[in-house]
Structure 1
Amino acid sequence: MPSTSTKSSVSRVLAFASLLLLPGATFGYNNSKAMDPEDRSGTWSIGAYFNWQESPYAGEDWRSDFMPQFVYTGENIYLDTTQMGWHAIDNDDWQLDTYVNYYLNGYNDHTFYSDTGEVRDEDDPLKGMERSSSFELGAALTRKTEYGRWSIAASHDVNGTHNGGRMELEWSKTWRGENWQVQPWLRTNYYSRETANYYFGVNADEVLVDRPEYALEATGSVSAGASLRVTAWQRHNLSLNAGYTVFNDEITESPIVSENAVFNASLSYRYEIDDLNRSSSGDYNFFTNNPNPWSYRIAYGCTSDTSLNKILRLQIDCQGDGTHLGSFFLSRQLSETLMTLPIEAWVTTGVARRFESEYQGNFWEGVLAFKAVFRQFPWSDTIETRFGVAEGISYAQKVPNIESERAAERDRRNSKFLNYLDFSLDVSLGDVIGNKKLQSCFVGFSVHHRSGIFGASNLYGNVYGGSNVNTMYIECEQR
């Protein structure tokens, strides 16, 4: 049998790899269906997602949430921000998917208020408690009929958050018009004993006078809802979703649960990037038959306490905590124009190594992002110059020291999972030194930024703050 340490290492690798690869979210009670379940167009989309959700937990009311949205609808592989999967079987009658998923549920540490950083009252029902989201591996089998899609899905925690599983039985049917879709659905949710105890139970070391210990067996809930999806001007996609979840008695009797049913609504917008240079030989495939250029980038730099807006005003320094970062990125062009503008769209993914000096052990960070690149400067015929802005997600194996220090100074929480931004400016190395062989290699500066979007996103733990790393890099395009 594998040792406990071996299992733990495998779990950490799976969790890290899942965010490196994937990086909409599966919310515990958010029933969003923003995507057409039959879309296999092979296009990429970027957008934003807004969610309003009633919380079942005592002391909480409504949650509002924001997160970026990244979508790829391939024939075999699909990506929806925090879920990546493979259509192992997909025909007119059956569909079998395997996937890795970030299951967003639970609640953040209630020691401090997320908006002000002030200490919560002693009688806060969730004070001193915290329940995290989890990474899951899962599979879903769907039977397609004229009466709708009938699905069964099972998933299990793989990073040791609660070591439990979930199962879902669902019916849905999609009615389609020329530029709209309506999809009602019904679902039964099953939580294993470990999952139910983690999200709705009270452990012995969390007991207070008015918060007794509470344990659950396997239990569940029932959900129903509908989604309206509209496409405008070919590439602009809007989705409005609403759902209602009713919990079993065993959940509602928990001392930390105050609602027996919750409602949620969400609105999402996606822009579909469809100006792809598709191959003339065979069917286009982003991974195996794609004529668009790709690039690799190697960077190294230092952390800085200077704010992002000051760095963008060229106040660049290494006055941080003495830690450093090295990174390697792979990128592929999606389009030569973005919303008809002369701005290229790229998708980029990378790994970074955090060198934490004496503060803690070094660790890895994974990134997935969309990047906009502008290179049509008046002088680019002489010295090609590029300016880029990337937006995405970042997952670190540990919280970087500079982020932990800032959070402690402000009595605020931190998170391994944060929003990612990258601003870059570079010039062609070949043009600068007069070597045509190096004209597609660029040297420049970039700032590697992680943050919680000013505490606005539950996905990022409502973190207010982050970190900046100033880097120098070389990036070479392959055309």
Structure 2
Amino acid sequence: MFKHFGFIACLPLVALAAETEQQPVVAEDTKPLGFISVDDLRQQRDGEQKWGIAAVMRSASIPYATESVVEDSTVSSFVPMMFYQGNRLFINGTEGGLNLYREQDWEVNALIRMHFIDIPSSFQNEIGGDTADFGLQYKYRWDENYYTDFELLSDPDGRFSSQFSIGGDYQFDDWRILPKASLLWKDSDYNSYYYGLNFEDISSGVDLRVGSAFSYHVTSNLYLLGGAYARYFDSNTRDSALVSDNWQGEGYLGFGFFNDAKKPRKSSISNKPYLRVAHGWATPSNIGEIFSGNRVKDEYNNQLTSFFYGHPLTDELFGFPLDIYLTPGFVWHWSSDVQSSTQEYIMAIKAYYTFTWPVQWRFGVAEGLSYVNRITYIEQSEMDRKGYEPSKLLNYLDFSFDVNLGDLFNHKPLDSVWFGYSLHHRSAIFESASQFGRIKGGSNYNTVYVQFDF
């Protein structure tokens, strides 16, 4: 269902790549006003950034009349989340966007939000996973606690919806509470597709959604996350033969790593931005086989070339020296005898641990999202063997090990250059994630790279 997602995925790559030029430090929480510009994107904050990474379980009631087919009344999904707040680019868990215009009290944003389709998990792979809504958002802040926003959104096939919300943001010691009430208008195409399932025409209508999210600061960078919401369907949806409930409930609970709220963010950090260029070869082997040395070569020699930018976020976690980056990437999958060339877009958070023995080495691991325009051969062949429908959107992992060339050759001009190995991995988290189509499996590429700090 993410078939038109590629052009949206390019937006954060362009925005972050433009932020590489070093500029004077911007004051805490100061953001540029007016229209977005190249100068805004080039403003580089040398200090610690607002960031986070989390893992939650989301559960929702199933509103459809499926009792005669399955016994499930709820469906659950594992949802990895990333968080980042820059001058213009923002990522907030299951949504992200780009600020287009800002004044002191209001702003206009380009927005994309994950759209969960809460059907029984046994049907999820056949349907093809969740989808996304994208469009424009107007947000007005009344004060530091209250805001209203209005959104006009469309799914990839032009089914429109809009949302008007009133929300709050309250801090009580270690608790942060985020109540929200929304009216959601959906056009007839939207209702007919998502609730009539293309078997029944349902006229447009307005839903009511109320609830709250929360976070609890456990210690240092560790937080607990949760939330609960209730949605009351419009009368046309309630009257549908395919919808059995007037209400739908959803909730989520998990944990995450964020800036320590009890410490001011650092005005400067030690890690620098980087550019990484890699080339890799596909393998049908899984991660365990690869790391145990039992990998098998792809008989068709499928290859990729990737480019990643590393945007520094912080240089520590729980007081431990870790260089952490937001890292968007672009990947070119080369054509071969069994596939045409295709493109892949990645957004991830990556952590590096550096040690000296007797030169500088680093271990790295990244977690994020990956979207491909067309399914690659190595992935399609595995899905065919296992009987799954593939998903263009999957979870992304990167495991790397590299060495500093300046140390290795005792040549100071190479101090900012690293050479190493990385495993480029796409998968769907063992059928636990509806947004990835309830798939087990994916693809792996062994890559070598050169990385330049600057």
SS in 1 for 2:285: coil
SS in 2 for 1:375: strand
Structure 1 position 447 matched with structure 2 position 394 = no
Counterpart for residue 88 of structure 1: 101
Which of 46, 49, 58 aligns to 1:51? It is 58
Structure 1 position 422 matched with structure 2 position 408 = no
CA contact (8 A) 1:151 1:170 kept: yes
**What per-residue deviation string (whole Å, max 9, x for no partner) do you get for residues 312-360 of structure 1?**
2233442354311110111133222222223322221110001241333
Overall identity of the aligned pairs, in %: 23
Note the C-alpha offset of 1:151: 2.8
- Give the 5 Å matches for 1:177-192: 177-192=172-187
**Structure 1 gap segments, 5+ residues each:** 1-8, 24-37, 118-127, 204-212, 280-289
Seen in structure 2, the aligned counterparts of structure 1 residues 180 and 277 have a Cα distance that, compared at 3 Å, is closer
Which of 278, 291, 298 aligns to 2:267? It is 278
Compute the TM-score of the two structures, normalised by the length of structure 1: 0.78
Letter in structure 2 aligned against 1:401: Y
- Give the 5 Å matches for 1:104-253: 104-106=115-117, 132-142=130-140, 144=142, 148-157=146-155, 161-203=156-198, 213-253=199-239
Letter in structure 2 aligned against 1:473: Y
Distance 1:376 1:229 in 2: 34
Structure 1 position 313 matched with structure 2 position 299 = no
CA contact (8 A) 1:335 1:345 kept: yes
Distance 1:444 1:181 in 2: 41
Note the C-alpha offset of 1:132: 4.6
**What per-residue deviation string (whole Å, max 9, x for no partner) do you get for residues 44-81 of structure 1?**
11121221111212325211111222111335442214
Distance 1:356 1:454 in 2: 29
Counterpart for residue 448 of structure 2: 472
Distance 1:89 1:386 in 2: 40
Note the C-alpha offset of 1:176: 2.8
Counterpart for residue 19 of structure 2: none
Distance 2:217 2:153 in 1: 32
SS in 2 for 1:250: helix
Q: Give the length in aligned residue pairs.
A: 415
CA contact (8 A) 1:201 1:215 kept: yes
Note the C-alpha offset of 1:430: 3.2
Distance 1:178 1:20 in 2: 36
Distance 1:113 1:248 in 2: 25
CA contact (8 A) 1:165 1:192 kept: yes
Note the C-alpha offset of 1:471: 0.8
CA contact (8 A) 2:75 2:118 kept: no
Note the C-alpha offset of 1:364: 0.7
Letter in structure 2 aligned against 1:329: F
Structure 1 position 74 matched with structure 2 position 86 = yes
Letter in structure 2 aligned against 1:368: M
CA contact (8 A) 2:49 2:265 kept: no
Question: Which stretch shows the higher mean deviation, 38-47 or 352-361?
Answer: 38-47
Compute the TM-score of the two structures, normalised by the length of structure 2: 0.82
Which of 314, 325, 338 aligns to 1:359? It is 338
Note the C-alpha offset of 1:276: 6.2
Seen in structure 2, the aligned counterparts of structure 1 residues 429 and 18 have a Cα distance that, compared at 3 Å, is same
Which of 252, 259, 263 aligns to 2:245? It is 259
Counterpart for residue 20 of structure 2: none
Seen in structure 2, the aligned counterparts of structure 1 residues 135 and 446 have a Cα distance that, compared at 3 Å, is same
The CA RMSD over aligned residues, in Å, is 3.0
Counterpart for residue 206 of structure 1: none
SS in 2 for 1:217: coil
SS in 2 for 1:198: helix
CA contact (8 A) 2:204 2:236 kept: no
Distance 1:303 1:231 in 2: 42
Distance 2:54 2:197 in 1: 38
**Structure 2 gap segments, 5+ residues each:** 17-28, 32-47, 67-71
Which of 301, 310, 328 aligns to 2:280? It is 301
